[in-house]
Amino acid sequence: MDKKSEEFYARLKEELAGSAEWPAEYLFKFIVQSDPAKVQQVEDAFNNMGAVIETTQSKTGKYTSVSINVKMEGPQSVIDKYIALSEIEGIISL
């Protein structure tokens, strides 16, 4: 992980720690190419977690927005999930 990413995750962890009582519901949002395999990879990362997942295709159908509302244990678990999903080629985390 590069220094810029490390700084981003450190700042995110600090913000999350002060924003809620944990465990808490957290809304993840991602954008991926409208490739069923990539959308499935995102969904699979939250399998067996009781997540509510919504997908919406862009007007052109080129991209798919994936919103996941799930109960997370704490700020570090949120960051770990972002890092794990960053392995998906072309994923954009919002």
Which residues, at least 6 apart from 31, have a Cβ–Cβ distance to it below 8 Å?
A: 63, 64, 65, 66, 91, 92, 94
Q: Which pLDDT score, from 0 to 100, does residue 2 have?
A: 77
- Asked if pLDDT for residue 5 goes beyond 90, the answer is no
Task: Reply yes or no: is the peptide bond before residue 36 cis, omega within 30 of 0.
Answer: no
Q: β-strand 52-57 against 24-33: which pairing, if any?
A: unpaired
Q: HSE on the CB side for 36, CA within 13 Å? A: 0
pLDDT at residue 3 in the model: 83
Confidence of residue 4 (pLDDT cuts 50, 70, 90): confident
For residues 94 and 29, is the Cβ–Cβ distance under 8 A?
yes
Domain ranges of the chain: 3-93
* Segment 34-93, tens digit of pLDDT: 999 999 999 999 999 999 999 999 999 999 999 999 999 999 999 999 999 999 999 999
Class in CATH terms, 3-93:
alpha beta
